[in-house]
Structure 1
């Protein structure tokens, strides 16, 4: 196995286990002095810590607040669990890279990160579907059928993501053939391309759903508004919110998805770091967009922190954009 492949592979012992920017692996051995920690790995570890803290707060709020059991909160909780696992995976990857570097740990780490980030993306899609249904079937949305559908959707998402995360352990890896590695070792080039194309399809579906949401919102505004000017402003604000959500999602994940398709392990590692870091930042932004903006979660957070609720939050009406 050539030194060139060792130095240019994006990940060392896991999908996110990056090689040092120098000429050697950052793994400690009895015969070698410890190699300086890669600053990019530190940045990913710090990002993972921030992700874990944010989403742990969201999960705690949802768990200890009995009133937050509606379908939208089930989906927000599922997204928070996925992002929490992603954050823990980034932290463990840093620990494993510099303290414990074995083939088994490599496959466990890559499996956890694939499952977690896949679940994060698919839960965002599920939230988009829920928003669409809440407008399209407004009269029947708050029924037991919707609750059942939500739980089934969450279960299917996690079963699929666990299956994807198990693939490296089942032999779908490039540990025995470095030439087939993608920018994310030990994921093979073909598997990385398949995941990237799937992401692009998910993004395209999200765009279509949000376009339909905008159409329905404008139609409802025209049908039931008496104060046309007020409703126009409200609807425009909602469209702006959806645009921000889509743009943020695309800016975080699109560079990494596109780079995974065109690049392989022979490409400079600096480009992999530059595309991976924004992708992981998606899990930092998700709690802000989908949880902390929701007035019900804000109330619970204020009550937990200071025992009071600001009047502007308690009197604020809930809208679909708060989900």
Structure 2
């Protein structure tokens, strides 16, 4: 994903002294394998990401209780993050053990597809949360299920198209001057991905502002109906806003540095800058299961039952409020 300079070789001089061909020289000269510590860290992160999200995917898709639209979107997010983790592992394996331009493009396409699907899935989860509060009375209807499947098709369809671009020829292998900070992605391709991120982030920010307003309004109405004290109303509102701020703040702190550097950076810049901004972005896929899955009470119950060996796929769990997920 990030191009490294090949190690220097005395291959020509060795062949001239010994009168052997270059192919024989390649077989006789064994160069030590030098691992980039950044790639090792990315591989470790990919392993953790894969394990976490594999648990979520198995829980959601194994149990019929998790067929509600909310859990389908959570499952889509976990699947995207799982593929991102696997992509990081495969990138490390192919770069150091099976060097090939074709395989490199396939791995890069997988990473672009998975990370794009992860960010887009976060948007769909946010839309689902907003609609569950704005249209609470009509949320559990066939229209919600249809809308969920449409969002899933758009999310994965668009992500796959963006991931196929490098494989279909939109790469800088033949034009090094057009490379971005993530080789062999072209600069224009990375700009499209970065602009798409900022658009998604702006929509999520606006939706969470609206969610905060709805939470404050609902908390105020409940406080008036039940004659709560003003402090109780304030505590409830503050807790809801703090949760939403944590969700949006985590997403922004993970992805904003890399997205900004994609727009401002150049292929001539040191690879260290790319690694330093890309690594926090991968942490978002590591944190997503904790925020969107493991905090949910229904998932916690099924996970505890599974760990205790009394898992039942027909447990009558149901999420009554997608905004709680």
- TM tier relative to shorter chain: 0.7 to 0.9
Are residues 232 and 319 of structure 1, via their aligned partners in 2, closer, same or farther at CA, if it must alter by over 3 Å?
A: farther
1:131-186 deviations in Å (ceiling 9; x for gaps): 00001101100111101110111111101111111101111100001111001001
Cα deviation, 1:282-314, whole Å, max 9, x if unaligned, reads 1000000000000000000000002479xxxxx
**Equivalence map 1:65-80=2 (5 Å):** 65-80=63-78
Tell me what 2:298 maps to: 296
1:42 paired with 2:40, answer yes
SS where residue 180 of structure 2 aligns? coil
Equivalent in the alignment of 1:231:
233
Q: Offset at 1:32?
A: 4.2
CA drift at 1:232: 2.8
Q: Give the 3 Å change call, closer, same or farther, for CA 320–159 of structure 1 in structure 2.
A: closer
* Structure 2 counterpart SS, 1:264: coil
Instruction: Label 1:320 to 1:214 Cα distance change in 2 as closer, same or farther (>3 A).
Output: farther
SS at match of 1:167: helix
Q: Which runs of 5+ in 1 are unaligned?
A: 1-9, 13-18, 310-316
State the number of aligned residues: 298
- Does the aligned pair in 2 maintain the 1:125–1:206 contact within 8 Å? yes
Q: Name 1:196's counterpart in structure 2.
A: 194
C-alpha RMSD over aligned residues:
2.0
Match of 1:168 in 2: 166
SS at 1:184's partner residue? coil
| Paired residue secondary structure (1:33) | coil
State the distance in 1 between where 2:114 and 2:265 align: 23
Output one character per residue of 1:21-40: Cα deviation in whole Å (capped at 9) or x when no partner. Answer: x8569xxx744413221111
- Residue 221 of structure 1: CA displacement? 1.7
Give runs of aligned pairs for residues 221-300 of structure 1, distance below 5 A.
221-225=219-223, 226=226, 227-228=228-229, 229-300=231-302
Matched residue SS, 2:184: coil
Gaps of 5+ in 2: 10-25, 312-318
Change (3 A) 1:24 1:39: farther
Task: Give 1:1-323 correspondences, 5 Å limit.
Answer: 11-12=2-3, 19=4, 30=27, 31-225=29-223, 226=226, 227-228=228-229, 229-307=231-309, 320-323=322-325
* Larger Rg, first or second structure (1 or 2): 2
Residues 133 and 323 in structure 2, CA contact (< 8 A), matched pair in contact too: no
